[in-house]
Every structure is written in C-alpha cells, then in structure tokens.
Chain A
Amino acid sequence: MQENTAIKLCNITKRFGEVVANSNISLEVRKGEILSLLGENGSGKTTLMNILSGIYFPDEGEIFVDGKEVTIRSPHDSFELGIGMIHQHFKLVDIFTAAENIILGLPGGANLNLKAVAEEVNALTAKYGFELDPNKKIYEMSVSEKQTVEIIKMLYRGANVLILDEPTAVLTPQETKKLFSVLTNMKEDGKAVIIITHKLNEVMEISDRVAVLRKGEYVDTVNTSETSENALTEMMVGKKVSLDIARTEPKNMRTILRIQNLTCINEDGLKALDDVSFAIRTGEILGIAGIAGSGQKELLESIAGLQNPIGESSILYEPKENERVHELVGKTPMQIKELGVSLAFVPEDRLGMGLVGNMGMIGNMMLRGYRSGKGIFVETQAPTKLAKELKEKLEIATPSINTPVSKLSGGNVQKVLVGREIAMEPKVLMTAYAVRGLDINTSYAIYNILAEEKEKGVAVVYVGEDLDVLLELSDRILVLCDGKISGIVDARTTTKEEIGLLMTQIPQKEEEANGEE
C-alpha cells in the first residue's frame, strides 16, 4: 500500500436481496487527488459511496483508512474517520443561517458564539476560495450556495476525504466552474476528493484518475491524462450483450404526435427541457436513453399535461390520419387522457404517481373509470372484471384482487399499472423505467406487453436505463443530454458506444439536424 493512500477498499460486496449492487470491488483513493467514480445509472457508484459514509454496511470486504482496517457502522463512524459525503439532497435546516447549520450537533459550550463560528467559516472560505455569507439564511440561498454550506460543514468538522454525489447536476456552468476551482484548492491542500459523476467532459476536466464501475462490478482505474472520452465510454457501457427480445419490423408507421420546440423549467429554475423537437409514430417503439435527470420525466409529463411548457412549445396530436389535429399544450391531464394518450409513468416511486397503495387492484382499476358510472354510486363490476382478467393474463401474484397493492412486490405492482393502462386501449403508451427493480422474467413479461402493443399499432415510448434493452426493444432511440436531444438513432444499426457518447455530450456540429427525425 502506498504511503499517501487515504482510503482503500478491498473486495467490497453488497447485496440487496437478490440484486448484487456491488460485487467484489477494490478501489483506492490517494491524498491530494480528485478521483472520479464513473458509471451508468445502477452501476453501483452511490451504493459504494454510501458504504463509505456509513449508510450501508458491506456484506463482504474490508475498508482501510490511512492504512488501518476500520469498521464503519454509521454515518457517525464515517465522520470520526474524516470522511464527509455531500448527498444530492442537502441536509440543512431552512430557517437557520449557514453558520448555525455548520455547527449543528457539534459539542461545545452551552452559550452559542455565532460570531466566532462566522469568523472560522470565513477563514475556511477564504482558504479554499468559496464565496459564502455565514449569516445568510438557507431559505434565501441558491442551490449552489446550499452546496457550499454542505461542503464547508464537512471541512469545518475536519473531513479529509470528501465524497460528492453528482455535485454538478444542480449547478449552472458558471457555478460548476467555481466548484471545480474550490475542489482543486482542496486537493492541493492534501485532501482526497471523490466525485460521483457520469459527465465525461467533467471527468476529463477535473479528475486525476477515473475509476469505472459497470453493473455493480469494478472495471478499472485509469489516469485521466492517459485516457480519452471514447475509451471511458467503452469501459462504462461494456460489450453488447444479446438479450433475445422479440422485435418485429414496424408496420403502418404514421406520425401521431409531433413535439416542437418543447421547453420546460424545473423547480430550481433551470431548463429541464430545452427546445426539443421530434415525432412519435404509431407502430413503433421509440426508446429514450439518457442519464437520469436529463429531462426524460419532464418530456413524458409534458405530453401527459403534467408540466407547464413555456415559450414556443407545441405538442400536436393527430389521433387519426387526416383528421383533426389537437394541440396538447394547455390541455388538462384529463382531457389528454380522454384523447387516448396514456402515461404509464413509473418514477422511482412506483406507487406515487400511478396507483394508490392502500387500495386493492379493483380500487386502482376504478381510478381510471370512476367518472363513467351513472348516478352517485361508482360502477364496480367492470373494474372487478378487469382486475380479475389482469390477474390471470399477466400472472399477477396477489392473494386477492382486494389486497392493497402496496403489499405486492415491485414487479407485480408494475404489472397492475401497465396492465391498467393497456386496458384503456391507448393510442400512445408511455412508460418510464418500467422494469426498474424487476427480475429478469418479469422484465421480459413487460417487454412482451410493449411489443404486443406496438403490433397493435400503438405508439410506444419507452424510457429506459439499460442500453442493451433499449437496443433490442426499440425501433428508434432518442438520446437526451442535459434537456436537449443529442441524437435520434436507428436502434438496429447503432452501437452502444454511440449512444453512450450521445448520453454524455451533445455533438458540436449541426445540433439542429440531429433534432429532426
């Protein structure tokens, strides 16, 4: 082991039930360096760092800090070892000032001397080149300032190893630049910095070495100066794996939805979608690839009427050929649903948007049809029948169709949701992360359902994470990067590397040309 090794991980394995999140990972971080931890979604980066910060306990493997073997059982232990992790969701008390948040929970005299704390904070900010007013309240701060408070909080507590989980995801380019100069200062001060990221340009810009993970496994660590973006992409996405998903040639293709200049602002005031234009066609599956948070959610929600697109945004919907064209921007979700656009949107929180956890299958079926009953009583027979049919057809494992769906396993919940949407006979079916957390068999069941819908002439939109699946299931793949379309490619001829590159950067030339179909 080298003298200047700050942290060394040996053969770390972590399983969640059947899923292996980290398999036999060995990694080391040196003092005075910035290490990028690179990998796709679900490659195990965050799990690995959560092990270091004491949130998860590894099933196997050893951790060495400064050459000594340690056991990290809680965030507190991690703290004591000088490891500070800055999560994507900040842990700050809104109505406190920066200084109050920084000293929260630290031992000391009964009387609070906030002036002294403010001075110490000012000394720290000056040392590393931050800009922060210690007396400013958190609720008055921008995201970038809040992040600064989190970082200073760690430094104030004497952290020698800083882990930042996708720190630039919420920052503007200028703020990112500032953060990077601060990180460089910390590195020069001898601290070890780990940043979790999947933005290749940032990796190249800031880090000294890059460790790559893929599907829970450690690929390699390389010196940034000796690698290239292409080489890293290849390490990140790996070789293509054949999955044998049945894919037919699309038939009777016709543009049913035309999205033009779609722009959306997210809650942080940043552009989640920036001038997106493309077409959705019947009889094909349009795959949407992209790093998490590149605008997939906003895209689907805009079509479903759950967002407020701004500017020139337009979504034209033509349910039947040469018939009336509807403008969906400005319509309510209910109106859009009635026109036949169905969103089986499955966000991280599966139950949150599509189903009511405490109701059984019947109740959840009813959610879609309760308006159609006559009089003041709800119609129960049709939903009951539908629930029974779905249970049979999709092999939903539930003790009874009245069992609250929150008691079912993730895969079965997914089947209930997708099954209900399909039963509505939509013309456009949108799914997001439909197979997240599902086992192989259930995933295939879902793929088959989507393929069947495509056969029927439905326009299917599939937002996915697994590039292998996207390549085999979709007909075309639209790649989003930072809210912009970085390319639309033919799924039959493209390569994983091409998509991987498009996910991390927008081709410099002729963005416009790519935006078209």
Chain B
Amino acid sequence: MTGIITLIQAAIVFGTVIMLGATGEILAEKSGSLNLGVPGIMYIGGISGLVGVFFYERGNADPNGFACLVIAMSCAIAASFLAGLLYSFLTITLRANQNVTGLTLTIFGSGIANFIGGSLNKLAGGVGQISVAATSKVFKTSLPGVSDMGAIGKLLFSYGFMVYLAVILAIVVQWYIFKSRSGLALRAVGENPGTADAAGINVTKYKYLATSIGAAISGLGGLYYVMDYTKGTWANDGTIEALGWLALALVIFATWKPANTIWGSYLFGILYWMYFYIGGLTRSSQELFKMLPYIVTILVLIFVSTKRRRESQPPAALGLSYFREER
C-alpha cells in the first residue's frame, strides 16, 4: 500500500514537470508553431530561476521566502518568454524553418544552461554545493499537518504549490483555447491562417503571443524540476532535455487538449517510475521500463491516426509559415 502511494506521489511530482512543458507547448502549437525548442526552453527556465535566487540568497544572510519565490518565478518566466520570443522572431517574422529553429533552440538552451550551471557549481565550491535552501523550501512546502492525514491526504496534499499551479494552468489554458472568443481566433490561426487573416484577426500577433507565453509556461516546468524535483541543485546530466522530449510526446498523447495533460502526465510518471517499485530488475531492464511513456505515445499516435477523428489531429497549419501574399 505505501509502495503504491509513494509511486503515485513520485509520478505526480514527475508529471508536474512535463505537464507544464506540454501545456505551454499546446498553446504554441495551437497557433501553428511547432516549437521543438521546449527542452531548451525548460533548461533556460530552470537555470534562470536558479541563478536569480542563488545570488539573492548569497547576498542575504536571512533570505525572505516570498522574495525568493518572486525572484525565481519572474526570472524563469522572463527568460523563457524571451526564448519563445526569439523563436517567434525567427520563424514568424523571418520565416525560418520551424523544425530547424526549434532543434537549434534546444541545443542552445541546454548548452547555455549547463555552462551557467557548471559555473554556479564552481562558485558554490563544487558539484552539489549550490545552496538555495530558502527558495527550495518555499517550493517544497506543503500544507501543514499533511503528515497526520491518511493515505488520501498524502496523495492529494503532500506537494509544493507548483503541482497545483500546473493543474490550474492546464485548466485555464484548456478553457482559453476551447471556450473563449480569443481562443477561437487562436485556433483559427493554427488551422487556417489565411481565413483568420481574412476575418480580421492579427495572425502575427496571435502567433507571437501564443508561442512566447507558451514558452514561459514550459519554462516553469524547468524551474519546478530544479527547485522541487532536485531540491535546488544543478547537475549536468541531461535529465531536463529528456523530460522536455517527454513533454512534446505528451502534447501528442493529450491530442492537443491541455486538460488531458493532467492525467496523461501522471500516467507517464507512473510508467516512468514503475521499475523502481518492481523488484528484481537489473539496471538494463530498468532502462526498458523507462521507455514505456514513449511506447504509449506511439500507440496513441497509431490509434489517433487510424481513427482519423478530425478533432484529434494536429492543427492543420502546424509547422507552416504564413505569407499573406501567397494566397
């Protein structure tokens, strides 16, 4: 019983990272931007938040928890928003190829984040010596009195605030895309920019905003990973990149509906951590288990493609640049 509870708890913490990544990416993809730079953006979000609070905590003997929170969040959001803006400028204004730009952004993001992360480790005096204890504490604080609750309480309330923030964001983005007037325009841009343009919608503005705000949300996934998942340290081990690709897989798994990322991400988490709770696995068979989320994604892709339900297909103009003159 406790095994299952800890598995689910691990899955939820794990899932939160990719849920944020996927929610942001869905927003971008609904505008037609296939941003393969998500892993890089999550790196940028994570390292920016870490740098901000690292220097704040270093300069203050008694760091204020709320200030830590604000600094970490705003650094992460601002930096990943800027990364999204760069992607938008290249693909929307300069009409660069989206795939190439996205992959480049991933390489750039992981490179610069690991470079800065390594430098921070050096400043702190060695790998694992970075201490942003005050911030990490804020991110990890759960409701008081959780330990006294039963299994259900532990399952529901034993997490830091970002677990709930991720769920709220997924629901809000879901509402925005499918129930709001502006979301209708956004979907039109991603489906058929020519029609959207003719209807008086500012295609460029929508693509820029959706891609950049989406990047900011994805970046929060990186921040959550650094602050909660790894407790405010930095390791150059490429885990964020792996999670970023998983977030992209989750977008497909969720068939471009943010609400589906909520359960989808937890399911991915369970599949990913399952090996830990199955006894007698060797190292190499553990790796096989870690493939499960990807296999499930492939199965979903096969299922969705054979079913050919129009609503489950990617936005029709995904990955394409829009030229007004090319009608």
Residues of A within 8 A of B (CB): 75-76, 79, 91-96, 100, 103-105, 108-112, 137, 139
Contact = CB atoms under 8 A, between A and B. Distances in A.
A285 B278 CA distance: 82
B200 A93 contact: no
Given A94-B191, A110-B181, A111-B181, 16 more contacts: A92-B192, A92-B195, A94-B192, A94-B310, A95-B316, A100-B184, A104-B184, A104-B188, A104-B199, A105-B185, A105-B199, A109-B181, A112-B181, A112-B184, A137-B310, A139-B310
Contacts of B181: 103, 108-112
B194 A95 contact: no
B304 interface: no
Interface residues of B, number: 22
B140 interface: no
Given A92-B195, A104-B196, A110 B187 contact: no
B179 interface: yes
The 6 closest A-B pairs by CB, nearest first: A105-B199, A91-B195, A105-B200, A104-B199, A91-B198, A93-B191
- Name which of A75, A91, A104 has the most chain B CB atoms within 10 A of its CB: A104
Contacts of B201: 104-105
A108 to B, nearest CB: 6
A143 to B, nearest CB: 16
B323 to A, nearest CB: 16
Is chain A's binding surface mostly helix, strand, loop or mixed? Answer: loop
Contacts of A92: 192, 195
Interface in B146-200: 179-185, 187-188, 191-192, 194-196, 198-200
B270 to A, nearest CB: 32
B62 interface: no
B199 A94 contact: no
A110 B187 CA distance: 15
B194 A111 contact: no
28 contacts: A79-B200, A91-B192, A92-B195, A93-B191, A93-B196, A94-B191, A94-B192, A94-B310, A95-B311, A95-B313, A96-B187, A103-B181, A103-B184, A104-B199, A105-B185, A105-B188, A105-B196, A105-B199, A105-B200, A109-B181, A110-B180, A110-B181, A111-B179, A111-B180, A111-B181, A112-B181, A112-B183, A137-B310
A75 B192 CA distance: 17
Nearest to A108: B181
B312 to A, nearest CB: 10
Interface string B198-214: 11110000000000000
Contacts of B311: 95
A308 B145 CA distance: 74
Contacts of A112: 179-181, 183-184
Contacts of B192: 91-94
A75 B327 CA distance: 14
B179 A94 contact: no
Contacts of B199: 91, 104-105
Contacts, number: 60
Given A104-B188, A105-B196, A139-B310, A94 B316 contact: yes
B310 A104 contact: no
B192 to A, nearest CB: 5
B310 A91 contact: no
B209 to A, nearest CB: 15
A75 to B, nearest CB: 6
A93 B195 contact: yes
A157 to B, nearest CB: 10
Nearest to B313: A95
Contacts of A93: 187-188, 191-192, 195-196
A35 to B, nearest CB: 24
B316 A104 contact: no
A90 to B, nearest CB: 9
A372 to B, nearest CB: 36
B186 to A, nearest CB: 11
A121 B6 CA distance: 54
B194 A91 contact: yes
- Name which of A108, A110, A111 has the most chain B CB atoms within 10 A of its CB: A110
B200 A76 contact: yes
Nearest to B176: A110
A109 B182 CA distance: 9
A197 B271 CA distance: 63
Contacts of B195: 91-93, 104
A96 B188 CA distance: 8
Nearest to B190: A93
A92 B179 CA distance: 19
A105 B206 CA distance: 12
Contacts of A105: 185, 188, 196, 199-201
A91 B195 CA distance: 5
A94 B311 CA distance: 10
Contact of B310 (A95, A100, A110): A95
A95 B179 contact: no
A104 B179 contact: no
A514 B87 CA distance: 64
Nearest to A107: B181
A249 B290 CA distance: 81
Interface in B240-276: none
Contacts of A96: 184, 187-188, 191
A214 B63 CA distance: 82
Nearest to B180: A110
Contacts of A137: 310
B180 A95 contact: no
Given A105-B185, A112-B181, A95 B200 contact: no
A79 B180 CA distance: 24
A69 to B, nearest CB: 24
A103 B195 CA distance: 12
B267 to A, nearest CB: 26
A104 B182 CA distance: 9
A332 B268 CA distance: 50
Contacts of B316: 94-95
A369 to B, nearest CB: 32
B138 to A, nearest CB: 32
Contacts of B200: 76, 79, 105
Nearest to B199: A105
A202 to B, nearest CB: 27
Nearest to A76: B200
Nearest to B179: A112
Contacts of B191: 93-96
B322 to A, nearest CB: 14
Contacts of A109: 181
Contacts of B179: 111-112
Contacts of A110: 180-182
A94 B181 CA distance: 17
A96 B181 CA distance: 13
Contacts of B182: 110
A429 B114 CA distance: 66
A340 to B, nearest CB: 38
A111 B183 CA distance: 9
- Name which of A91, A100, A137 has the most chain B CB atoms within 10 A of its CB: A91
A96 B195 CA distance: 12
Contacts of B310: 94-95, 137, 139
B34 to A, nearest CB: 18
Interface in B125-154: none
